[in-house]
């Protein structure tokens, strides 16, 4: 039996039992056998969900880039580490070997040092999906700087908020980015953001689109000449197990985005372990995750997890619809991809297109298909199974979060029998619990409840940057001694879990988590708006789309409502990003409120979804009459 590589169902159950009976021993054996340490840990785990505080492998010393790069050089130096597939299919793919990756990361690390970046400093990375993004992430880790990658679709305001929150001293960006037919101007977004960021001293700019941009003297520099002049070796900074590795922002149901802090050793061990098992990775595989490195999926399963296993990881710059809807499948054929990991929203979008786009290509290299980010509906699951996997590839529906660092609930391919829409069973070391509304654990099966985790795993986020109180409040206060996920889940008669969706005010649109509160804040900035409430409603491609209820101020002026709608979406684009735009905006004279003044979103959600059969008890509302008005004017 191998703790590290589970190959059949019996083994899963054995390993799982062991991991729960003696978690410390379980993770210790894995850590010992599969990684490079400069010093061994003194203590495998100490934890206290009351404080809350979690520490794994305390006292150990390591550098994660040695584990992801240097360790492989002797046996895999000439193997492709990163296979870069550009936006334009006519541009050649780049095979970046482990040797080449080593040199680039060291050069970049030396550049960062020259710019005055030191261990513990925060570096903001705002880049498209080009190789320099991976180099930048790993270069930070090489020297012990904390990276904060911000998805390059976020607006200047959203970028500035994130830069300021973690006090970044350097920003790495590019002149522009290619996304399908579009060329986006990233540098000018950074310029605008930096007008409100005093902490940033230097900006490094990657040349990608050759767009005309402005460079600010004393602040901005092109990366390439600095890289060329830099040494190709850089001694790794030896880090403590619990030193922060990165910050990644995720939307909360209220307030500013939360800077989730992940630390070094536990994150490394857990992402490497889950990558190996969930994708049944073997040496000659070509693994492709279509996420952006701006999200946790990219951090854990494009960069760290695959590289820690010495894998070949595909990095795709473009979009699924360019030059046409066959692009994903063309890439699978071209590079003989063996594992393919994407989001349900992409599957639904491609499933709407003609099957010719799929049938043109040879997909026989595929062994495992994965999904992540939101619940997958049955129709999409079957489309994926039949047309992409040809009913021969297990599908892993992987449930996890930015906060969890790695996959927690997922089938293990060729071991766990899959059932559509079920993420199935917890991975080794993961102890889920379903809680009822009164705060009691539900022990029976075939029920739903709120999903919690009872015991720490190595890659749990350790805090929210600069706000430990909020970390405690958000994740450890709802239920005593439990990590609360914010998701609802159902457990069936055999113990399989099905994640039903968020139970808080986060809506997942096309796989992106959006807090409704910041969107409402943006709308309320409109001079004509008095108040607003945002809810999600089901959308056949995006999973959920956003529905806005807006109360206009009574100013006596008449405004063109379609104009106001446009202006509202414009504001949202500027404040948050185009992904947060509303699909429908209904003007209303009031919102259903409880006596304590809370908007009853449950009712608004039902109305927006067209489900008005059972609105529940509205008699406790302060203004029950408003419900009829809203229902009458609902936008179909
Ligand atoms: C990895 C990631 C986290 C939220 C999470 C869920 C939802 C993710 C699934 C899923 C149903 C899944 N991180 N979610 N995976 N829901 N089935 N397989 O997406 O921080 O961006 O989002 O995404 O609601 O809480 S995330």
Closest ligand 1 atom to 485 CA: 25
Q: Are 623 and 593 in contact (CB under 8 A)?
A: yes
For the segment 220-268, what is each residue's pLDDT rounded down to a tens digit?
A: 999 999 999 999 999 999 999 999 999 999 976 666 889 999 999 999 9
- Among 124-138, 219-233, 530-544, where is mean pLDDT lowest? 530-544
For position 256, what pLDDT does the model report? 82
Q: Could you tell which of 293, 341, 372, 475 is best to mutate to test the pocket of ligand 1, judged by most ligand atoms within 8 Å of the CB? A: 372
Q: State in Å: Cα 257 to ligand 1 middle.
A: 16
Q: Is the pLDDT of residue 598 over 70?
A: no
Pairwise CA distance, residues 516 & 536, whole Å = 9
For the segment 464-493, what is each residue's pLDDT rounded down to a tens digit?
A: 999 999 999 999 999 999 999 999 999 999
Q: Could you tell which of 499, 504, 579 is best to mutate to test the pocket of ligand 1, judged by most ligand atoms within 8 Å of the CB? A: 499
> Could you tell me if residue 597 is left (phi over 0), alpha (psi between -120 and 50 degrees) or otherwise beta?
left
Assign 392 a pLDDT band (cuts: 50, 70, 90).
Answer: very high
Helices (H), 195-285: 223-229, 264-278
Q: What is the mean pLDDT of residues 596-619?
A: 81
Q: What is the mean pLDDT of residues 127-140?
A: 98
Pairwise CA distance, residues 214 & 178, whole Å = 19
Nearest to 535 by CA among 593, 613, 607: 607
Q: Whose CA is nearest to atom 10 of ligand 1?
A: 374
Closest ligand 1 atom to 397 CA: 18
Domain coordinates in residue numbering, the chain = 9-319+398-489, 510-632
- Average pLDDT along the chain: 94
Q: State in Å: Cα 266 to ligand 1 middle.
A: 21
Q: State in Å: Cα 209 to ligand 1 middle.
A: 33
Q: State in Å: Cα 89 to ligand 1 middle.
A: 30
Pairwise CA distance, residues 480 & 458, whole Å = 20
For the segment 168-180, what is each residue's pLDDT rounded down to a tens digit?
A: 999 999 999 999 9
DSSP 8-state secondary structure symbol assigned to residue 423: -
Q: State in Å: Cα 487 to ligand 1 middle.
A: 9
Closest ligand 1 atom to 375 CA: 11
Q: What is the mean pLDDT of residues 36-54?
A: 98
Q: State in Å: Cα 422 to ligand 1 middle.
A: 13
Q: State in Å: Cα 610 to ligand 1 middle.
A: 25
Closest ligand 1 atom to 501 CA: 24
Nearest to 219 by CA among 116, 119, 294, 132: 116
For the segment 407-440, what is each residue's pLDDT rounded down to a tens digit?
A: 999 999 999 999 999 999 999 999 999 999 889 9
Q: What is the mean pLDDT of residues 73-78?
A: 98
Q: State in Å: Cα 522 to ligand 1 middle.
A: 25
Nearest to 180 by CA among 297, 313, 86, 292: 86
Q: CATH topology of 9-319+398-489 equal to that of 510-632?
A: no
- The whole-angstrom distance between residue 510's C-alpha and the CA centroid of its chain comes to 12
Closest ligand 1 atom to 423 CA: 18
Residue 66 tokens, joined: 């040695």
Pairwise CA distance, residues 131 & 94, whole Å = 9
Q: What is the mean pLDDT of residues 91-98?
A: 98
Q: What is the mean pLDDT of residues 543-547?
A: 96
Nearest to 275 by CA among 257, 262, 289: 289
CATH topology of domain 510-632: GMP Synthetase; Chain A, domain 3 (3.30.300)
Closest ligand 1 atom to 402 CA: 20
Residue 433 tokens, joined: 């619990």
Q: Whose CA is nearest to atom 12 of ligand 1?
A: 399
Closest ligand 1 atom to 512 CA: 21
Q: Whose CA is nearest to atom 6 of ligand 1?
A: 374
Please list the residues that pair with 260 across neighbouring strands: 248, 464
Closest ligand 1 atom to 371 CA: 18
Q: State in Å: Cα 301 to ligand 1 middle.
A: 14
Q: What is the mean pLDDT of residues 337-359?
A: 94
DSSP 8-state secondary structure symbol assigned to residue 189: H
For position 596, what pLDDT does the model report? 60
Q: Whose CA is nearest to atom 17 of ligand 1?
A: 375
DSSP string, 153-217: TS-HHHHHHHHHHTT-SEEEEES-EEETTEEE-HHHHHHHHHTT-SS--EEEEE-SS-------T
Q: Are 170 and 204 in contact (CB under 8 A)?
A: yes
Closest ligand 1 atom to 297 CA: 1
Q: Could you tell which of 252, 304, 399, 515 is best to mutate to test the pocket of ligand 1, judged by most ligand atoms within 8 Å of the CB? A: 399
Q: Whose CA is nearest to atom 18 of ligand 1?
A: 399
- Higher-confidence residue of 619 and 331: namely 331
456 contacts: CB under 8 Å, gap ≥ 6? 45, 47, 49, 54, 56, 483
> Could you tell me if residue 278 is left (phi over 0), alpha (psi between -120 and 50 degrees) or otherwise beta?
alpha
Q: Whose CA is nearest to atom 7 of ligand 1?
A: 374
> Which CATH number describes the domain made up of 9-319+398-489?
3.40.50.12780
Pairwise CA distance, residues 163 & 170, whole Å = 9
Pairwise CA distance, residues 271 & 248, whole Å = 16
Q: Could you tell which of 401, 405, 432, 506 is best to mutate to test the pocket of ligand 1, judged by most ligand atoms within 8 Å of the CB? A: 401
Kind and range of the H or E run holding 117? none
Q: State in Å: Cα 215 to ligand 1 middle.
A: 39
Nearest to 271 by CA among 523, 31, 576, 2: 31
Q: Could you tell which of 513, 542, 544 is best to mutate to test the pocket of ligand 1, judged by most ligand atoms within 8 Å of the CB? A: 513
Pairwise CA distance, residues 369 & 339, whole Å = 6
**431 to each of 26, 354, 401, how far by Cα in Å?**
14, 42, 15
For position 620, what pLDDT does the model report? 65
Q: Whose CA is nearest to atom 11 of ligand 1?
A: 375
Assign 502 a pLDDT band (cuts: 50, 70, 90).
Answer: confident
Q: State in Å: Cα 518 to ligand 1 middle.
A: 20
Q: What is the mean pLDDT of residues 75-82?
A: 98
Q: State in Å: Cα 623 to ligand 1 middle.
A: 35
For position 1, what pLDDT does the model report? 59
Three-class DSSP category at 489: strand
Q: Is the pLDDT of residue 28 over 70?
A: yes
Q: State in Å: Cα 563 to ligand 1 middle.
A: 35
Q: State in Å: Cα 234 to ligand 1 middle.
A: 37
620 contacts: CB under 8 Å, gap ≥ 6? 594, 595
Pairwise CA distance, residues 192 & 455, whole Å = 43
Largest interatomic CA distance in the chain: 76
- pLDDT over 70, % of the chain: 98
Q: State in Å: Cα 373 to ligand 1 middle.
A: 4
Q: State in Å: Cα 371 to ligand 1 middle.
A: 10
Give the pocket of ligand 1 (CB within 6 Å): 250, 295-297, 372-375, 397-402, 423, 485-487, 499, 502, 508, 513
Q: Is the pLDDT of residue 622 over 90?
A: no
Q: Are 121 and 145 in contact (CB under 8 A)?
A: yes
Pairwise CA distance, residues 295 & 616, whole Å = 37
Nearest to 93 by CA among 327, 349, 389: 327
Would the pTM of this model clear 0.85, i.e. be above it?
yes
At CA 100, angle to CA 94 and CA 104, rounded to 5? Answer: 100
Pairwise CA distance, residues 194 & 502, whole Å = 34
- Among 389-393, 410-414, 599-603, where is mean pLDDT lowest? 599-603
Pairwise CA distance, residues 452 & 478, whole Å = 10
Q: State in Å: Cα 490 to ligand 1 middle.
A: 15
Three-class DSSP category at 155: coil
For position 254, what pLDDT does the model report? 65
């Amino acid at each position: 039996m191998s703790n590290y590589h589970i190959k059949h169902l019996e083994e899963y159950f054995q390993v799982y039992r062991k991991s729960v009976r003696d978690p410390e021993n379980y993770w210790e054996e894995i850590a010992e056998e599969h990684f490079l340490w400069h010093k061994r840990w003194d203590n495998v785990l100490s934890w206290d969900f009351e404080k809350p505080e979690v520490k794994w492998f305390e006292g150990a010393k390591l550098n994660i880039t040695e584990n992801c790069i240097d360790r492989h050089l002797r046996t895999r130096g000439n193997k492709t580490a990163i296979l870069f597939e550009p936006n334009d299919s006519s541009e050649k793919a780049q095979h970046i070997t482990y040797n080449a990756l080593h040199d680039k990361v060291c050069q970049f690390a030396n550049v960062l040092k020259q710019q005055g970046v030191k261990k513990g400093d925060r570096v903001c990375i705002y880049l498209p999906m080009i190789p320099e993004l991976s180099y930048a992430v790993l270069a930070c880790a090489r020297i012990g700087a904390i990276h904060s990658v911000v998805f390059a679709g976020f607006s200047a305001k959203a970028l500035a908020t994130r830069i300021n929150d973690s006090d970044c001293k350097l920003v790495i960006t590019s002149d522009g980015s290619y996304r399908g037919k579009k060329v986006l101007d990233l540098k000018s977004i950074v310029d605008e953001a930096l007008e409100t960021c005093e902490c940033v001293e230097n900006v490094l700019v990657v040349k990608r689109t050759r767009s005309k941009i402005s460079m600010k003297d004393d602040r901005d520099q092109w990366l390439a000449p600095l890289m060329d002049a830099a040494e190709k070796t850089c001694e790794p900074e030896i880090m403590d197990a619990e030193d922060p590795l990165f910050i990644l922002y995720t939307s909360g149901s209220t307030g500013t985005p939360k800077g989730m802090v992940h630390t070094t050793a536990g994150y490394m061990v857990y992402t490497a372990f889950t990558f190996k098992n969930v994708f049944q990775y073997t040496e000659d595989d070509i693994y492709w995750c279509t996420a952006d490195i701006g999200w946790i999926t990219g951090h854990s399963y494009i960069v760290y997890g695959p590289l820690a296993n010495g894998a070949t990881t595909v990095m795709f710059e473009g979009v699924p619809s360019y030059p046409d809807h066959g692009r994903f499948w063309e890439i699978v054929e071209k590079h003989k991809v063996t594992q393919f990991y994407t989001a349900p929203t992409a599957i639904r979008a491609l499933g709407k297109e003609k099957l010719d786009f799929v049938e043109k290509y040879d997909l026989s290299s595929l062994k495992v298909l994965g999904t992540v980010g939101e619940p997958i509906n049955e129709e999409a699951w079957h489309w994926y199974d039949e047309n992409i996997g040809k009913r021969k590839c297990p599908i892993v529906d992987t449930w996890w979060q930015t906060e969890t660092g790695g996959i927690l609930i997922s089938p293990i391919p060729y071991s766990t029998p899959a059932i559509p829409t079920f993420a199935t069973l917890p991975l080794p070391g993961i102890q889920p619990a379903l809680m009822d509304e009164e705060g009691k654990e539900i022990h029976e099966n075939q029920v739903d409840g709120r999903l919690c985790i009872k015991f720490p795993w190595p890659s749990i986020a350790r805090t929210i940057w600069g706000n430990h109180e909020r970390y405690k409040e958000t994740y450890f206060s709802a239920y005593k001694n439990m990590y609360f996920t914010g998701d609802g889940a159902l457990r069936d008669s055999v113990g399989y879990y099905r994640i039903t969706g968020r139970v808080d005010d986060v809506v997942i649109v096309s796989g992106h988590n959006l807090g409704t509160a910041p969107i409402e804040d943006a709308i309320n900035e409109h001079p004509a708006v008095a108040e607003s409430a945002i809810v999600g409603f089901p959308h056949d491609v995006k999973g959920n789309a956003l529905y806005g209820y807006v109360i206009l101020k009574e100013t006596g002026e008449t405004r063109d409502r379609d104009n106001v709608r446009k202006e509202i979406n414009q504001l949202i684009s500027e404040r948050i990003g185009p992904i947060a735009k509303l699909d429908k905006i209904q003007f209303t004279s009031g919102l259903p409120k409880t006596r304590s003044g809370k908007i009853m979103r449950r009712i608004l959600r039902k109305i927006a979804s067209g489900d008005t059969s059972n609105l529940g008890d509205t008699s406790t509302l302060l203004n029950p009459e408003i419900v009829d008005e809203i229902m009458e004017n609902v936008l179909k």
